[in-house]
Structure 1
Amino acid sequence: MPAKTTSTQLIHHPYEPPAGFAAPQPGVFKASTVVFPSVAAMRARDWKSRQGYTYGLHGTPTTFTLEERLCALEGGKQCLLVPSGLAAISVVALALLKNGDEVLIPDNAYGPSKALAEGELAAFGITHQLYDALDPADLAARISDRTQLVWLEAAGSVTMEFPDLPALVRICRDKGVLTALDNTWGAGLAFAPFDFGAVEARVGVDISAHALTKYPSGGGDVLMGSVITRDEALHLRLKLAHMRLGFGVGANDVESVLRSLPSLPLRYAAHDRTARELAHWLAGQKEIVQVLHPAMQGSPGHAHWRALCAHDGGAGLAAGLFSIILDERFNQAQVDRFCDSLKLFKLGYSWGGPVSLVVPYELAAMRPQWPPHIRRGTLVRFSVGLETVDDLQADLAEALGTMAS
């Protein structure tokens, strides 16, 4: 019987819009509850399958669309969306590690990844070791029967070393250990995480974790991460943990990333061009003793970057991220004044957005010992946005003058 009261009609109105609407942007579907046509349909649907819908946490047309496009970006087959890049790292660890296991992490990895191992994982009885990302032999020597997972990062966080990824992955594969790559820097564009191509056919990582907060979002206004795989059984292990942990992402945030994805290659290339030009200019400034940028000759791991990202003899691709080492004659107060004097480079964490950012780091507090390939001094990291290179260079020149005066 049709409802007669206004209140009920507002909820159960029979109108349904006609099918066939098409537009450049996919629709935004928001749901916790998903409505089933019958009890039989409810019982038949499998939340693990993307062939139907069961509950908002398990996927909507909006999230499924983003997952498919991210798989296309990185060359994977299955994708999970999580609330942040760190959540992507966390779900991998919690899905694959148990009491008595060990995980190996590069010594130059993203700080919160190491903090997770030192905190929650240690409390669960999971141990970890740090290995030298530039020394495959060091990784090989540390793998034991307890090692269940090896994290990789290219380029290294803050100090920007680029490892020999094929060599590291080959070691892990030969020892039967899973590999997970923090692929935020490469963004699925600098190199293919699941197939290193001309460098080593059919060699790639098992898992790619990506902070979509950075380049895929591109606006500095979205927190999201992804975990991408090619192996169905491995994906299921991750998906079960993802479900039990209750990870979900907001539909409007998914919409923002979907809107930004088509421009990702253009933005990434623009960040890259400006960063390289600024990095080369800074290398010639007397206040600076070292510039850390994987695409620059002499930067730690440059040959590995060239082999993987520019193997065809071209310019290759690199993120708009680099660090400098200011001469140790400048004290912390002077370095802080340099950063504070910058007008276009804003003080702030993260990267990949339109606004250029700067952060000074205390490298001695971040690494067990000072890396031998890093000159002594104070490290400052830059994330290059989309401003004009001449304006950014002028901003840096003025701030360097302020620091030295």
Structure 2
Amino acid sequence: MRVEQLSNEDSPVPRPQVGPNTRLAHGPYDPRSQHGFVNPPVVHGSTVLFASTETLRNRARATFSYGLSGTPTTKALEDALSELEGSAGTILLPSGLAAVSVPLMAFLSAGDHCLVVDSVYYPTRRFCDGTLSRLGVEVEYFDPHIGEGIAGLMRPETKVVFIEAPGSNTFEIMDVRAVSDAAHACGAVTMMDNTWATPLFFRPLDHGVDLSIHALTKYPGGHSDVMMGSVSANNATYGRLRDTQMQIGVNAAPDDTYLVLRGLKTMGIRLERHRDSALALAQWLEGREDVADVLHPALPSFPGHALWRRQFSGASGLFAFRLKGEARTAASFLDALRLFGLGYSWGGHESLAVPVDLSDRTIAKSSGDGALIRLQVGLEDVIDLKADLEAGFAAANTL
């Protein structure tokens, strides 16, 4: 298919009949706008010159007016993500955590009430319990399985419901539509951290969510060499989101933006590999006597599997399992690994393993005995990853 068939002079959005990998490979960027080069240029710039005093006075109408508000590089990534999300617009931020904090600050004020799922990413909880609380926002955590029952927690002052699905580390699946509908019925805005699934496997805005949040550090970047976040919003919330971003004065750097643009090109095929390898390992782990439980939504044995299948079109490479034994056993297991590195983050080409601490939670503590270990399954060969895990089990079983 030719690029011309994917582009339109009046709209950057490709025709809807093309598949996800075609969209990722071509995106809404039109090479004809840059002398035929297939990738957008990396624009380093602050000052934008105007042709006249009239255009200077009316700079709010200009596509670009100052480096902070955007460049051709950032616009290319914003457009690509908005297309994938089906959103009215997207903002870029220098980290995934910034992509969490900026929309929360955009829609919350002193005296407001914010509902946050208890299985949320720990840095999100730290921001809520720290900065939001200090600014006079009351934060309340809720059970990820609450569904439409969240209506019972809503108050007149509830302005935001923040969700994450699957839940961080324990992978609970929630009914996103039910929670969003209940929140909207009470006048609240819904936000979702969708980093695990990416918009290829789940599009929050299609399920009633107002703002979709991603750590682009993970699968879109894909190579463990960049930090960035994004927030894609619907028509009702995009204007306030963008205005808050500009009030705070934060955007993404051009070189980092280019790395994510490059990563997007192969995200689809990388995700397929992450998905298949992780599921193969999860199934293998489920059959081991030294494993108490495997927390992977795509396994039929997982408590939320049916709900996951109803909402998601795929699974990524992150899941957890419960090793029989306690912290000492887990340390021996982890220290024996060689291919699985001991490090945080995920979504990159390399496999990682970390112990999970759920002591910050008040509700979603996850049932079961044993040490919880989270695996990020990379792009290595599954047979080699199995051998590495075997070495870990051998070390743990010698205790």
TM norm. shorter chain > 0.5: yes
Identity of aligned residues (%): 40
Residue 369 of structure 1, CA deviation: 5.0
- Distance in 2 of aligned mates of 1:125 and 1:138: 26
Counterpart in the other structure of 1:16: none
User: Which structure: larger Rg?
Assistant: 1
Counterpart in the other structure of 1:64: 75
SS across alignment from 2:200: coil
1:39-188 to 2 correspondences below 5 Å: 39-46=53-60, 51-188=62-199
Counterpart in the other structure of 2:319: 322
RMSD: 1.6
Residue 61 of structure 1, CA deviation: 0.7
Residue 370 of structure 1, CA deviation: 6.5
Of residues 209, 221, 228, the one that matches 1:224 is 228
Q: 1:370 to 1:53 in 2, by over 3 A?
A: closer
Of residues 41, 48, 60, the one that matches 1:34 is 48
1:185-224 to 2 correspondences below 5 Å: 185-196=196-207, 204-224=208-228
Q: In 2, are the aligned partners of 1:75 and 1:193 still within 8 Å (CA)?
A: no
- Distance in 2 of aligned mates of 1:226 and 1:370: 27
Structure 1 residue 301 and structure 2 residue 315: aligned?
Answer: no
TM-score by length of 2: 0.89
Q: 1:235 to 1:114 in 2, by over 3 A?
A: same
| 1:248-287 deviations in Å (ceiling 9; x for gaps) | 2110111111111111111111100000000010011111
Residue 38 of structure 1, CA deviation: 2.0
Q: In 2, are the aligned partners of 1:161 and 1:299 still within 8 Å (CA)?
A: no
Counterpart in the other structure of 1:257: 260
- Distance in 1 of aligned mates of 2:240 and 2:103: 9
Structure 1 residue 343 and structure 2 residue 338: aligned?
Answer: yes
Q: In 2, are the aligned partners of 1:95 and 1:237 still within 8 Å (CA)?
A: yes
Of residues 367, 373, 376, the one that matches 1:374 is 367
- Distance in 1 of aligned mates of 2:335 and 2:267: 30
Residue type matched to 1:377 in 2?
G
Q: In 2, are the aligned partners of 1:132 and 1:138 still within 8 Å (CA)?
A: no
1:262-277 to 2 correspondences below 5 Å: 262-277=265-280
Residue 358 of structure 1, CA deviation: 0.6
- Distance in 1 of aligned mates of 2:91 and 2:363: 36
More displaced, 343-352 or 187-196? 187-196
TM-score by length of 1: 0.88
SS across alignment from 1:109: coil
- Distance in 1 of aligned mates of 2:35 and 2:243: 34
Aligned length: 367
- Distance in 2 of aligned mates of 1:227 and 1:358: 28
| 1:224-258 deviations in Å (ceiling 9; x for gaps) | 11111121x52111111101111121101111111
Unpaired runs of at least 5, structure 2: 1-32
Residue type matched to 1:286 in 2?
E
Residue 112 of structure 1, CA deviation: 0.9
Q: Point out 4+ residue stretches in structure 1 off by more than 3 angstroms.
A: none
Q: In 2, are the aligned partners of 1:215 and 1:264 still within 8 Å (CA)?
A: yes
Residue type matched to 2:362 in 1?
P
- Distance in 1 of aligned mates of 2:381 and 2:187: 48
Q: In 2, are the aligned partners of 1:216 and 1:264 still within 8 Å (CA)?
A: yes
Q: 1:331 to 1:87 in 2, by over 3 A?
A: same
Residue type matched to 1:218 in 2?
G
Q: In 2, are the aligned partners of 1:164 and 1:304 still within 8 Å (CA)?
A: yes
| 1:333-367 deviations in Å (ceiling 9; x for gaps) | 2211111111100011111000001110122x132
- Distance in 1 of aligned mates of 2:362 and 2:110: 25
Residue type matched to 1:162 in 2?
I
- Distance in 1 of aligned mates of 2:245 and 2:367: 39
Q: 1:42 to 1:370 in 2, by over 3 A?
A: closer
